[in-house]
Amino acid sequence: MRSTKVDFIALVTAALFATGCAGDAASADDAYEADLEVEAQLAIEDAADEPRPIVVVAGLMEDRKTVAPLADFLKSKGFDVTVYVPPGLGFGDINVYAEAVGKIVQDVRERTGADEVDLIGHSQGGVTARRYAQIAGPEAPVHTLLSMGSPQQGTDYGALANILVAMGLLDGIQGAKQLIVGSTFLNELNERSDPTPGDTRYVAIGTRLDQVTKPVARSAIPGGEHVVMQEACPGRNVGHFGLLSDAWVQQVVLSVLAGGPAKGDCTARPLGGPV
C-alpha cells in the first residue's frame, strides 16, 4: 500500500532523533545502534507481508566492493538486496544499463513474489535507476527510488573529465559524456512533462563536498525530494564515495524506505569520509 500511517511516521521520527541529546559518546553510540534496529524493523513491517526487495545500482567505474558498505548494511537489517554492476565499468550507454536494471527488477519480483521493489543508485547508478523508471512509465513497479550523489542534472565537464583524463579514459566513454550538463541524454531525462512519472517516491541525497557531482544542486531530481547533507548537518565532512558508508545517510535511507522523512541524526557515527 502507498499510504503511510501517521503513528508510523511519528515512531520513525522519534527513533531518528532519540539520540540527539545523548550524554556521553558511548551511550550515544548504543542508542544510535538501537535506533537503527527500530528503524529497520519498522521499514520491514511497513512493507505489507514481506519487506520490499532492494536493487542497488552501481555507478561509473564502480564494482561490488564499492557499493558493499551500503548493500551489506541493508542486508544486515533483513532486506533482500540485489546489486547491479554495469558491465565495462559503466562506460557504455546508460539506456542499455537501464534496460538491464529492468530485467533484474523483473527477476527479483519473480523470485521474491514482490509487487514492487525499491531502487537505490549511487553516482551514475542513480541516473541509471531513474532512466529505467522513466522507460517503464507510470506503472513502473518501483515504490521508492533513492539517488545518492548522482548527477541527475549533469555535472561540470571538468569535474568528471579531470578524473578520466588522468586515467587516459575520456575518449569514447559514452556513459560519462551522457552525464555532462547539456547532453542530449540528460535533456531527454529532465525535460519531459513529468520527469518523475507514476506513484514512485523520488529522493536524492547530495553532499557539498562531492568532487564528481558538482555543484550539489545538480544532484536533485526535478520534481523529487532533495536533501543536502551539509544543509541538514552543517560541517559534516563526507564526499562522493563516503555517502555509501556514512551513518547519517544510512539513517536517511532507512527512514525513507519506511515511508518516513528524509532525515537522520547528525551525531551519528561513523562519518563516511571525504573521499
DSSP 158-174: HHHHHHHHHTT--TT-H
Contact 179, 151 (CB under 8 A): yes
Question: Residue 223: inside a domain, yes or no?
Answer: yes
Give φ, ψ of 10 to 5 degrees. Answer: -60, -40
CATH number of the domain encompassing residue 212: 3.40.50.1820
Helices (H), 152-228: 157-166, 174-177, 184-190
Question: Residue 66: inside a domain, yes or no?
Answer: yes
Question: Residue 275: inside a domain, yes or no?
Answer: no
Question: Residue 257: inside a domain, yes or no?
Answer: no
Q: What is the count of structural domains for the chain?
A: 1
Residue 83 confidence (pLDDT) = 98
86, three cell numbers: 554495469
Residue 150 confidence (pLDDT) = 97
Which string of DSSP letters, residue by residue, matches 111-148?
HH--S-EEEEEETHHHHHHHHHHHHH-TT-SEEEEEEE
Mean pLDDT by 10 residues, the chain (275 residues): 35 32 41 54 51 96 96 97 95 95 98 97 97 94 98 78 56 80 92 87 97 93 96 95 97 97 94 72
Residue 34 confidence (pLDDT) = 54
Residue 16 confidence (pLDDT) = 33
Closest CA to 134 of 92, 212, 195, 191: 195
| Cα–Cα dist 39/42, whole Å | 5
Distances (CA, A) of 52 to 48, 78, 241: 8, 10, 25
Question: Residue 116: inside a domain, yes or no?
Answer: yes
Residue 14 confidence (pLDDT) = 32
Residue 73 confidence (pLDDT) = 97
Tell me which residue range forms the domain holding 222: 53-240
What distance, in Å, lies between the first and last C-alpha atoms of the chain?
38
Which string of DSSP letters, residue by residue, matches 224-255?
SEEEEHHHHSTT----TGGGGT-HHHHHHHHH
**Apex CA 62: angle with CA 59 and CA 68, to 5°?**
100
With 0.85 as the threshold, say if the pTM is over it. no
Question: Residue 235: inside a domain, yes or no?
Answer: yes
Question: Residue 147: inside a domain, yes or no?
Answer: yes
Question: Residue 14: inside a domain, yes or no?
Answer: no
Residue 158 confidence (pLDDT) = 57
| Cα–Cα dist 253/153, whole Å | 21
Q: Buried (b) or exposed (e) across 31-69, using 16+ Cβ within 10 A? A: bbeebbebbbbbbbebbeeebbbbbbbbbbbbeeebbbb
